[in-house]
Amino acid sequence: MAKILCVLYDDPVDGYPKSYARDGLPLVDGYPGGQTLPSPEGIDFIPGQLLGSVSGELGLRSFLEKNGHTLVVTSDKDGADSEFDRELVDADVVISQPFWPAYLTAERIAKAKNLKIAITAGIGSDHVDLQAAIDRGITVTEVTYSNSISVAEHVVMMILSLVRNYIPSYKIVVDGGWNIADAVSRSYDVEGMDVGTVAAGRIGLAVLRRLKPFDMRLHYTDRHRLPAEVEQELGLTFHPTAQDMVPHCDVVTINAPLHPETEGLFDDKLISTMKRGAYLVNTARAKIADRDAIVRALESGQLAGYAGDVWFPQPAPADHPWRTMPHHGMTPHISGSSLSAQTRYAAGTREILESWFAGRPIRDEYLIVDGGQLAGAGSHSYSAGNATTGWNG
């Protein structure tokens, strides 16, 4: 029987919800491209419930306990005295969400003698030292596609919010004001702008598809080129590298995983090659951008706006400069954790657990590391190595 250690974010400050804004969720048939939705043998939650916080338990408790396993759920994840550190020593399975990542560093992996599988309830396993997992033969999985469309919607929202100057305009209303000139002196239309995505995977391509009807010119860079018919359908311009692409763009959106190849990509040098007054939206991972270079670019006007929902570390400290820099539209890490997304990644986590307990192969599209190497989706999108370092700082 296994011990499952699950790290989730805290419940709402007013307590676990007793009711919800809407009744149920709209039905989604499948993912673009034909991948099927998670298909566990059963679920023990009502779709639309808050599952990603501690009391939601990803809807896993009765399933696990009925099968004789032990489930420990905690939000206390950082530092050597954390419940996560204490419970990790004999855990077989770790489940964590990127929104509230339990950083599985090489040191922690070395202490976790029983650890066999790390499941990301969501997408993005950069909080796991993938090289250490490879070396120890630990399987790493994530629920591919579960929140890709959720994030794409958030990206489009943030692009429109920045370019149209929505947040300062909203604030004028809340503060009792009506100065239209203050609101519009930084407000533009996206129509006719050039927008480029760094990576056109599930999220990046979904962003491009959603921006097409706004009559923006669409650009992308990726390690692999999209099929010619997709490029033609959307009128895409491909650039071999981010360095080639960004000088052409009014808006850049980052949709690549964090791994050694992408860490620190948006530094002073790359940002200086962007158009003055470009907008940058990063819902991928904070460390793809240099924290202080972003602040400097907003202060100098090189960037007209920056938005995203990913920070480093998470939770972001109260004095994180991205909370107070000018012209930002940051949210906490929420884009991939809508109630809609939670339903899918909770079901996907259950599907992975069911397969693993039964000794059945885990879907290839959920695998990041398996059998001592990058595997499945991981061998396509990641590179070996470690992007978890510096998680205290």
- Residues making up the annotated binding site for substrate are 123, 147
Q: Which two tokens stand for residue 2?
A: 């296994």
H helix intervals, the chain: 61-66, 83-88, 106-111, 130-136, 148-164, 166-174, 180-184, 202-211, 228-234, 242-245, 268-272, 291-300, 339-358, 376-381
What lies within 8 Å, CB to CB, of 34 at 6+ separation is none
Among 101, 196, 257, 305, binds ligand NDP (CB under 6 A): 257
Do 366 and 36 meet the contact criterion of CB atoms below 8 Å apart? no
Q: What is the smallest separation between the CB atom of 172 and ligand NDP, expressed in angstroms?
A: 28
Number of residues that bind ligand NDP (CB under 6 A): 33
Q: What is the smallest separation between the CB atom of 62 and ligand NDP, expressed in angstroms?
A: 27
201/305 with CB nearer ligand NDP: 201
Question: Is 291 noted as a catalytic residue in this protein?
Answer: no
Piece of the chain touching ligand NDP by CB under 6 A; list 5-13, 218-226, 244-252, 342-350: 218-226
Among 202, 327, 328, 344, binds ligand NDP (CB under 6 A): 202
279/345 with CB nearer ligand NDP: 345
256/347 with CB nearer ligand NDP: 256
Give Cα 297 distance to the centre of its chain: 24
Of the CA atoms within 13 Å of residue 160, those in its CB half-sphere come to 11
Q: Rounded to an integer, what distance in angstroms lies between the CA atom of residue 35 and that of residue 277?
A: 38
Known binding site for NAD(+): residues?
A: 148, 202-203, 222, 257-261, 283, 309, 333-336, 381
DSSP strand pairing (194-198 vs 70-74): unpaired
The 3 state secondary structure assigned to 210-258 is: HHHHHCCEEEEECCCCCCHHHHHHHCCEECCCHHHHHHHCCEEEECCCC
Among 97, 141, 255, 314, binds ligand NDP (CB under 6 A): 255
Q: Rounded to an integer, what distance in angstroms lies between the CA atom of residue 7 and that of residue 83?
A: 10
Query: Residue 349 interacts with ligand NDP (CB under 6 A)?
Result: no
Question: Is 333 noted as a catalytic residue in this protein?
Answer: yes
309/370 with CB nearer ligand NDP: 309
At residue 257's C-alpha, the angle toward residues 123 and 73, to 5°, is 35
Do 97 and 120 meet the contact criterion of CB atoms below 8 Å apart? yes
Among 139, 141, 165, 221, binds ligand NDP (CB under 6 A): 221
Q: Rounded to an integer, what distance in angstroms lies between the CA atom of residue 218 and that of residue 75?
A: 40
Question: Is 314 noted as a catalytic residue in this protein?
Answer: yes
Question: Is 285 noted as a catalytic residue in this protein?
Answer: yes
Query: Residue 124 interacts with ligand NDP (CB under 6 A)?
Result: yes
Q: What is the smallest separation between the CB atom of 159 and ligand NDP, expressed in angstroms?
A: 14
Q: What is the smallest separation between the CB atom of 106 and ligand NDP, expressed in angstroms?
A: 20
Do 204 and 197 meet the contact criterion of CB atoms below 8 Å apart? yes
Query: Residue 342 interacts with ligand NDP (CB under 6 A)?
Result: no
48/260 with CB nearer ligand NDP: 260
Give Cα 257 distance to the centre of its chain: 9
Of residues 292 through 311, those in contact with ligand NDP by CB under 6 A are 309-310
Q: What is the smallest separation between the CB atom of 280 and ligand NDP, expressed in angstroms?
A: 15
Query: Residue 285 interacts with ligand NDP (CB under 6 A)?
Result: yes
Piece of the chain touching ligand NDP by CB under 6 A; list 107-115, 165-173, 216-224, 342-350: 216-224
The residue whose two tokens read 């209303």 is: 173
Among 22, 66, 224, 360, binds ligand NDP (CB under 6 A): 224
At residue 75's C-alpha, the angle toward residues 143 and 78, to 5°, is 100
Q: What is the smallest separation between the CB atom of 266 and ligand NDP, expressed in angstroms?
A: 12
Query: Residue 283 interacts with ligand NDP (CB under 6 A)?
Result: yes
26: left (phi over 0), alpha (psi -120 to 50) or beta: beta
Active-site hit among 333, 344, 350, 363:
333
Active-site residue set: 147, 285, 314, 333
Site residues for ligand NDP per CB under 6 A = 122-124, 147-148, 151, 198-204, 221-224, 255-258, 261-262, 283-285, 309-310, 333, 335-336, 380-381
